[in-house]
Amino acid sequence: MMPRPDVLSLPELVNANERLVHRGRFLTAVMRLDIGADAYLISIDRGRIAEVRKGPFVMPSWTFGLSCRADALDRFWQPLPPPGFHDLFALLRRGDLTLSGNLQPFMANLLYIKDVMASLRSPKETA
Amino acid sequence: MRATIESITGRYMRLDLKGREHRIYFEEAGQGIPLVCLHTAGSDGRQFRGILNDPRITRDFRVIAFDLPWHGKSSPPAGWQEGDYQLTSADYTDIILTVCRALELDRPVAMGCSIGGRIALHLAMEHAEEFRAIVGLQSSAHVHPYYDTTWLHHPDVNGGEVCAAIAAGLVGPNAPDAHRWETVWHYMQGGPGIFKGDLYFYKVDGDIRHRLSEIDTSRCPLYLLTGEYDYSCSPADTLETAACIPGATVSIMPGLGHFPMSEDPDGFIAHLLPVLSEIAHR
């Protein structure tokens, strides 16, 4: 298994992708990401990743949350994920991913959020 | 100016379904054994463009792909604005049989994907005598709901964008980019609530787990082909279904996802050709 990519590198990866930022241009929200016991708050400002903070947090506020088994995300982030692990909804179907909070902005920007998460998959970044 | 004109022809037929006049669009190419192709939920017959354009298939098969009512270039019936679209097993079966009879097809082969793969099982169970063979792609007897389909038809979410996002994940990771995004585009073009209405059949009404043993493959051969990367109808789902149907032939297609004929036509046709050859030589 490759080392887990650094979620803190999301601003660099996403903001350099003009097309991805454009796709998320109507989204301003805080996405909570839980990977096993690790928690992150990802602030999105009109499609740009403004800030990523790593927990633990005291009384965090967030818009919607993704909580995923760490070993499932490790497979999701492989350059060629195995069957059943190549998409966020594949993880949802497996029961490895749970969603929480206000899911309207999540569903309204689903393709953007899938690609934000998949941007950590870059072999260059995960090597 | 040079253009390549494909050998596919598209026409409309007018016919009654459940006592209401419908205008149905269908495309066809080739000659020989009729091969009726059934698209996935929320999409249309363009998914079969690779099949319709492959001379190895159209040499021996008359390939026909029609758009379900409310899909693609098939209109909803007059008065559609008075109700929501919701596909049921009975209606879906009736549409397929009516179209086949209207075109006077002699014991066609039915090949459907996803909801088309599910209704293929219904056809094998209830109308085996009318079909030469049944080919189910991404075919299972039941799918447990794993997301809230309310979001597919909701004023706070762009329907085309969210349906596309759902479909995009179901494509295999190695699909050629042009075909991946063509497949996704079809989902962007679906009418409001149509994908959701199809999924009523897929996830609620069309559950036939308890009836699979009624399928008699000696009356009508059944072939099930499923892409390895499909998580809506996974290989395990298809294998579980096939285990309940003596004589069913199963093939798991490495690398492919939920839309094999559309996301990677060449890759899929390599798996389909031996099946069609076997059917043609029966």
Sequential pLDDT tens for chain A (127 residues): 788 999 999 999 999 999 999 999 999 999 999 999 999 999 999 999 999 999 999 999 999 999 999 999 999 999 999 999 999 999 999 999 999 999 999 999 999 999 999 999 966 433 3
Q: What is the CATH number that goes with domain B9-280?
A: 3.40.50.1820
Condensed to tens digits (0 to 9), the pLDDT of residues B220-235 reads 999 999 999 999 999 9
Mean pLDDT, residues B56-78: 98
- Nearest CB partner across the interface for A84, out of B148, B174, B231: B231
Distance of residue A120 Cα from the nearest chain B Cα, in angstroms: 15
- Output the six-digit token pair for A7: 């979620």
Taking an 8 Å cut-off on Cβ atoms, the answer to whether B228 and A83 are in contact is yes
Rounded Cα distance between B60 and B273, Å, is 11
pLDDT at A65: 98
Interface contact flag, A111 B164, Cβ < 8 Å? yes
In angstroms, the CA B231 to CA B199 distance is 15
Q: Residue A3: its pLDDT value, please?
A: 87
Q: What pLDDT, on the 0 to 100 scale, is given for residue A123?
A: 65
Q: Is pLDDT above 50 for B189?
A: yes
B19 in contact with A, Cβ within 8 Å:
no
Supply the pTM of this predicted model: 0.96
Q: Does B156 touch chain A (CB under 8 A)?
A: yes
Q: What structural domains does chain A harbor?
A: 7-126 (3.30.1050.10)
- The residue-averaged pLDDT of B79-97 equals 97
C-alpha distances in Å from residue A6, one per residue of A9, A40, A57, A63, A97: 6, 11, 18, 22, 19
Task: Delimit the domains of chain B by residue range.
Answer: 9-280
Q: Would you state the pLDDT for residue B203?
A: 87
Residue B157 in contact with partner chain A when CB distance is under 8 A: yes
Query: Is the CB of A70 inside 8 Å of chain B's CB atoms?
Result: no
- For A82-102, how does the pLDDT look when each residue is reduced to its tens digit (9 = 90+)? 999 999 999 999 999 999 999
Check if A104 contacts B (Cβ < 8 Å).
Answer: yes
Can you tell me the ipTM of this complex? 0.94
Distance from the Cα of A121 to chain B's closest Cα (Å) equals 12
**Residue B233 distance to chain A (closest CA, Å):** 11
